[in-house]
Structure 1
Amino acid sequence: MMLLLGTAFLGLLIWYFLLKPMQYWKRLGVVQTNPIPLFGDSWRILFRTMNTKDFVEFIYNLYPTERVVGFYNFTMPTLLLRDPELIKQIGIKDFEHFADHPPLIDPEADPLWSKNLLSLSGAKWREMRRLLSPTFTSSKIKAIYVTMEEAARNFATYFKERKDEGIIELEVKDIFTRFTNDIIATTAFGVQVDSVREPNNTFYLMGKKMTDFSGFLNIFRFLIGQILPKFAKACGFRVINAKSAEFFSEVIDESVKQRENNQIKRHDMIDLLLEARKKQESIDGNPITNLDITSQACIFFFGGFETVANVMTFGAYELATNRDVQDKLREEIKTNVSNDGKVSYETLQEMKYMDMVISEILRKWPPFPVTDRICTKPYTIKALDKNSKDIPILLHQEVQIPACAIQNDPKYFPNPQKFDPERFSEKNAKNIVPYSYLPFGIGPRICIGNRLSLTEVKLMFFYLLLNCEIVTIQKTMTPPILTKDIFASIEGGAWLGIKYLK
């Protein structure tokens, strides 16, 4: 009898803690995945059977006619939004109900990460966003344009120095991260480095280490930090590893010291925050510290190092495998280069075909496959008709917006695997369904640095294609197979050839 009761009790515990949570969305009448106990759907990423892009597209495509799909981040019920109108509703119209991103880790476990703009919430986020926004206006970007343009010309010159080699075969992701590293070093940290010619400089190596989320252990830390923040804190898990945190903190401390002691002005993000500190402005009542400044600089490293390099990498791949597009873009570049071999900020922004090409790269390969929001005020997704039900979203529940899946859905972009910049021509762009194109997110929490990133990518391709051809080589993988890491790259490396033209 006791054995029977014990077995029944154990069965009840298993049902209550392991099985019942996996039926949350089904009980609400929402279509859902087939999760496994405890791991939910996250096992696909944790055990590296899918990368984030594949995972999001897998869930998105399960129920093609539904507005939403329920899935489970381990035991946490999460809702994937499939309908552009609903995305608009939650991302813009009802933003106050979904004002924050879910925390990646306990703030006390990684104070440097927790103070950045992406991680801040509520009033702290609003205050920091207000302070940083002037850094990314057109006038401010124009002010640092000369530095960025010089870096892009210097990058192209590297291939001129090696022109006698003919076609230079290289893994382009590596060299693009070096270019983006140098842009961030000068625009966010006030440091000059040349990572192409000095491949082992400390700034680049520390930045690469800080943004590395490949491998099982990093994926495990990333996921556990979200679902068990206290456990992650006890285990010492951090988003930014200790060595990188110490290095970049020292870089900012030294930069701040030099600026304050020598009255140096660079008109960049650090200057803005130092000026705000002088005016005794605060973040939620607390004075702005060097840690706050370092944290903002680091998030721009996260946003501009790996992700922008990925856009450049996939863009180079598409141009190499679509030579007609590359040749047409080169012709536009040649007609817009000035007599001194340069391009002005205004001219670069007015190049229509360049804009079409970059837009198509971002459609097919968005820098962030998915963006998320956490419910900050209880919310209800209203039923569209009598055959559907209202869906309550509870406080702290997460919703996800699958940019990669929507932008590769033939419903919105016919023949989505085809690389076709003409989708974004003046004639065709007006036919794009609103909110089906979301490469930088949506609403007030859209990526603050998107204009800076676009300028950076356009500059790199302008000078690279002005001087060089991008070609496929024997090691080029066609079509590309992606790694199973959180932020996927091409398996075995993105191998292409660069041939200097002059």
Structure 2
Amino acid sequence: MGWLKTSIFSWLGLMGVALFVSQQWVTWTLLITGITALAYLDHKNRGYWRKHGIITADGSVPIFGHLLKSFDNSRMVWEYTNSIYEKYKNSTYVGTYLMWSPSLLITDPEVVKQVTIKDFDHFVDRRTFKVSGKDKYANEMLTSAEGAHWKGIRSVLSPTFSSGKMKNMFPLVLKKADALMEKLHKVTEKGETEVDMKNFYGRLTVDVIGTCAFGFESNCIEDESDEFEKKLAKASNQGMEVIFQILLFFISERLADFLGFGVMARWKYFKDLLTHTIEQRRNSTIKRGDFLDLILEAQAAQAEPGSTKHEISSDTVIASSVIFLLAGYDTVRNTLVIAAHIIAQHQEEQEQLRQELQEIVEEHGSLNYQNVMEAKYLEAVIFETMRMYPLLFALERKCTKEYVLPGTNIKLEKDRFIQVPVWSLQNDELYWKEPSKFNPDRFLPENKGDIVQGTYLPFGLGPRNCIAQRFALMEVKVAVARLIQEFHLSLAPGREELGINKGPMMRPFDTMPLLLTPVS
């Protein structure tokens, strides 16, 4: 689409010149010609799915396609996609348009499995925004890398998240969770107290990332004025500002950079901080065994004679550190906040969870990596939370080579995109009995066999799933377990319902108060 962008800006430039010299007839000629050309291009592209014999979802508008309705602030982020899913789910494939880009919505979990696992070699890549200039390091993020380069980076980073590495990090996570409990006891020392869980869980996740990934102590749990956590919370705010940045970047990357609205502009503070930390670590002989040490060791190993390891550049090290910070803070914090609120809503399930944790301590003396990760009801509670409220409401994959859609003779062209409606599949009564009901029993070992593969996707599916899934689950399990051990959770007056922001991203309200009462 580069030629289109160049043509549009050339046309706008000519029109501006014409206006400047007051040649109104030239201006109107250019305006009419431009609108006609855009209308023709739009009409031509809108026929793409019809030409291929695939139903097109209602609601497409000229130029923007279905994009504007996805950014509608009057409803929840998943609602528009779900309305398409519900109307056309018996069709398996539904055509949509993101501006001029055709995108195929897949509604059948069997096909979801096919494209994400069995035929993954046709769908290796995601939609990416290629960045140049000062932010080009972002192209090295695992979420942005493509093809063999993505595979190479993934192979280098995967050992960082092995069960052995997680077991070594468990005491660090538990120590931070214990520190949070001490802080909450100080806050609630006079009895039942209203506590903003988004605030406290945000501080916990910052401290966990700091100690487990980068070897520094941010002390956000104790110090409410800590600059690091405040900047991270602001940078992670996924509001309309982010959508504006992406749209501006799509129109003109140079203009976005000039105005300070590049897609990575909000992460400059952390990029500079991590660059400094990486240089310090390279010049140090002390090894902490954290994420940063592991990736630097991998970079050094690939430089050894005869090494067959994938090359890890300095940009890759920085990008991997930034994405760990970006994803590790926002997603874990929001999952913890939602889980705590749902547990407070369901007192019977809360007591059952507390009973399981008490039995674990009675048997083993304390929580450890093995018994926390194997706690059946704890896992069921967290999995059911993520089923009802997946932070990623849809998955997207790019077709990297021509592909015949399963069950048809339709060929999907290279560079087209498929979309998987995660929220819809995880909340469809066809696959989940009473999907709006919180029922952790669905995920107990004896019931897991009833779950249809391809309908539960909070971490994605297939080789391109979340690489840090094991670390995220460990942190969430520890944080929830310690909170339930120490406090009884109940709902704050006026905040009985879980507050989710409307608009383009799945996020809890800015404050999420609960009543905490110390468990005697």
Answer whether TM exceeds 0.5 for this pair.
yes
Is the CA contact 1:45–1:484 (under 8 Å) kept in the aligned structure 2?
no
* TM-score using structure 2 length: 0.87
1:498 to 1:407, Cα distance in 2 relative to 1, 3 A: same
Residues 102-501 of structure 1 mapped to structure 2, 5 A cutoff: 102-108=127-133, 110-214=135-239, 216-225=240-249, 232=256, 237-241=261-265, 244-257=267-280, 259-281=281-303, 288-337=312-361, 342-382=366-406, 384=407, 389-478=408-497, 480-491=498-509, 493-501=511-519
Is the CA contact 1:105–1:239 (under 8 Å) kept in the aligned structure 2?
no
Is the CA contact 2:398–2:415 (under 8 Å) kept in the aligned structure 1?
yes
CA drift at 1:443: 0.9
CA drift at 1:88: 1.0
Is the CA contact 1:180–1:308 (under 8 Å) kept in the aligned structure 2?
yes
- In 2, distance between residues paired with 1:16 and 1:235? 32
Aligned to 1:91, which of 116, 119, 124?
A: 116
1:27 is matched with 51
Is the CA contact 1:364–1:408 (under 8 Å) kept in the aligned structure 2?
yes
1:352 to 1:11, Cα distance in 2 relative to 1, 3 A: closer
Which amino acid counterpart does residue 170 of structure 2 have in structure 1?
Y
1:82 is matched with 107
Cα deviation digits, residues 131-160 of structure 1 (max 9, x gap): 111110000011111101101111111111
CA drift at 1:80: 1.3
* TM-score using structure 1 length: 0.90
Is the CA contact 1:467–1:501 (under 8 Å) kept in the aligned structure 2?
yes
Is the CA contact 2:70–2:81 (under 8 Å) kept in the aligned structure 1?
no
1:87 to 1:105, Cα distance in 2 relative to 1, 3 A: same
Aligned-partner SS, 1:399: strand
- In 2, distance between residues paired with 1:32 and 1:108? 38
Aligned-partner SS, 2:95: strand
Is the CA contact 1:40–1:74 (under 8 Å) kept in the aligned structure 2?
yes
1:36 is matched with 61
- In 1, distance between residues paired with 2:367 and 2:233? 30
- In 1, distance between residues paired with 2:359 and 2:190? 28
Is the CA contact 1:210–1:241 (under 8 Å) kept in the aligned structure 2?
no
- In 1, distance between residues paired with 2:223 and 2:510? 24
Q: Which stretches in structure 2 are left out of the alignment for 5+ residues?
A: 1-28
Task: Between 217-226 and 348-357, report the one with greater CA deviation.
Answer: 217-226
Q: Which stretches in structure 1 are left out of the alignment for 5+ residues?
A: none
Task: Between 128-137 and 18-27, report the one with greater CA deviation.
Answer: 18-27
2:18 is matched with none
- In 2, distance between residues paired with 1:501 and 1:448? 36
- In 1, distance between residues paired with 2:132 and 2:412? 25
Task: Between 227-236 and 196-205, report the one with greater CA deviation.
Answer: 227-236
Cα deviation digits, residues 185-216 of structure 1 (max 9, x gap): 112222112212212212212222322221x3
Task: Between 230-239 and 491-500, report the one with greater CA deviation.
Answer: 230-239
Which amino acid counterpart does residue 391 of structure 2 have in structure 1?
P
Aligned-partner SS, 2:516: strand
- In 2, distance between residues paired with 1:448 and 1:59? 30
1:232 to 1:25, Cα distance in 2 relative to 1, 3 A: farther
- In 1, distance between residues paired with 2:233 and 2:451? 36
Task: Between 285-294 and 454-463, report the one with greater CA deviation.
Answer: 285-294
CA drift at 1:41: 1.2
CA drift at 1:119: 0.9
CA drift at 1:168: 2.2
Is the CA contact 1:109–1:238 (under 8 Å) kept in the aligned structure 2?
no
Is the CA contact 1:475–1:495 (under 8 Å) kept in the aligned structure 2?
no
- Size of the aligned set, in residue pairs, is 490
Which amino acid counterpart does residue 409 of structure 1 have in structure 2?
D
Task: Between 342-351 and 270-279, report the one with greater CA deviation.
Answer: 270-279
- In 2, distance between residues paired with 1:494 and 1:315? 11
1:234 to 1:159, Cα distance in 2 relative to 1, 3 A: closer
Which amino acid counterpart does residue 276 of structure 2 have in structure 1?
D
- In 2, distance between residues paired with 1:42 and 1:182? 37
Cα deviation digits, residues 336-374 of structure 1 (max 9, x gap): 126997311011112111111111111111232212111
- In 1, distance between residues paired with 2:362 and 2:229? 32
Cα deviation digits, residues 65-104 of structure 1 (max 9, x gap): 1212211112211111111111111101111111011113
CA drift at 1:269: 2.0
RMSD: 2.8
- In 2, distance between residues paired with 1:452 and 1:6? 56
